[in-house]
Amino acid sequence: MMVRSAVATTAWLFCLTLSPVQLRAQDAPPPPPDEIELKSGARILGTVTSCEDGTLSVSTDELGDVTVDLANVVNLVTHHTVVLRSTTGERREGRITGIADGKLQLATPEAGTSDFAIADLDQINPPEGAVWSGDFNIGLTESNGNTDRRAVAASAEVTRRTERNRLFFRGAWNYADENTTGTRVLTERRLYGEAKDDQFISEKSFLYVKGDALGDTLAAIALRWTATAGYGYQFADREDLAFRAEVGAGYVSQAYTTPGVPNEEYFSGRLAYSLNWEIVTDLRFMQDVEYLPSLESASAYLVTADSRLRLFLTTSLFAQAEHVMRYNSKPSPGLKTTDNLFLLTAGWTF
């Protein structure tokens, strides 16, 4: 009897303790709905589910799923955590507490309130996975009659971006020949390829490894390849401005086609920067500069500067003027140190 009474008393005390907890949980009000205010003054209450291609999707009790042009939204407040992804692949999480000066106000427990430019927004609550982007462009020249010449220039680049990783691949091919005496004479043949892997160790800092290869017939380069690694810092990574600088070290190997000229190999340092700047709407200036000084001889170094001015004719189609300068302080005997390439091409981004 005493055991039975003790068990009953324990069970009664447990239920007495649990009941208020259950009642509080049942009585707790649901979180308030997200609030979307439009330019017209209308307000939508519901749950923001996603945003893609400038279209905001909201789930409501009264109207079901509705979509709104983000350009028509003057204020936005969410009462649950959302994920924002930029056009460059950066991801941030938090509650949107409003819009000010074209920027979403994002509140997080760790960092407090920060800004996220709407112009840089790619998606809200994006599906998990990598972001792919890139472009290809081509230019052709053909003439006959008193001048018989043909030329082609083509290039493509692809970037795969996740929160902590950025993979970059680029290739370019240039060819030209001319017929002046009944025989076609090669005037240009150049092939270039590059691969680079950036591993982010913080929001702006990253470690990288990079390899590239160049073959240039007129510069007597059978094959020049470089392999480098180092540290980089992303000073800006917005849709209107992206800029990063890198420092590192690596190895350079050059094999020449000129008979009797020995191959050249040395350990090198590396300094580089990359700029992508939207000057005005639809007009961009991009520049990639790399300096590879020999760590074994102060007189040996390579410089490459690739500058592009790109005008968007549609959201994807563009026309481009490009200048590529390659400097080799120790070229094959009898050849110049500097090669300049000027291109007018058309291309497509994706």
For 329, the enclosing helix (H) or strand (E) is none
What are the CA-CA distances from residue 195 to residues 70, 200, 248, 318 (Å)? 37, 17, 16, 24
Helices then strands, each counted (H, E), the chain:
1, 22
SS3 content of the chain, % helix, strand, coil (to 5): 10, 65, 25
How much is the pLDDT for 146? 77
How much is the pLDDT for 11? 47
Place of tokens 């190895």: 251
How much is the pLDDT for 182? 77
How much is the pLDDT for 15? 46
Residue 22 has pLDDT above 60, yes or no: no
How much is the pLDDT for 28? 60
pLDDT digits (tens, 9 = 90+) for 303-342: 999 999 999 999 899 999 999 999 999 998 889 999 999 9
pLDDT digits (tens, 9 = 90+) for 211-261: 999 999 999 999 999 999 999 999 998 888 999 999 999 999 999 999 988
Rg of the chain over all Cα atoms, to the nearest angstrom:
30
Q: What residue type is assigned to position 190 of the chain?
A: R
Yes or no: say if 350 and 316 are a contact pair by the CB < 8 Å rule. yes
pLDDT digits (tens, 9 = 90+) for 265-311: 999 999 999 999 999 999 999 999 999 999 999 999 999 999 999 99
pLDDT digits (tens, 9 = 90+) for 163-209: 789 999 999 999 999 987 778 889 999 999 999 999 999 989 999 99
Q: What's the length of the chain? A: 350
Exposure of 287 in the CB half-sphere (CA atoms within 13 A): 11
Going by pLDDT thresholds of 50, 70 and 90, the confidence category of residue 12 is: very low
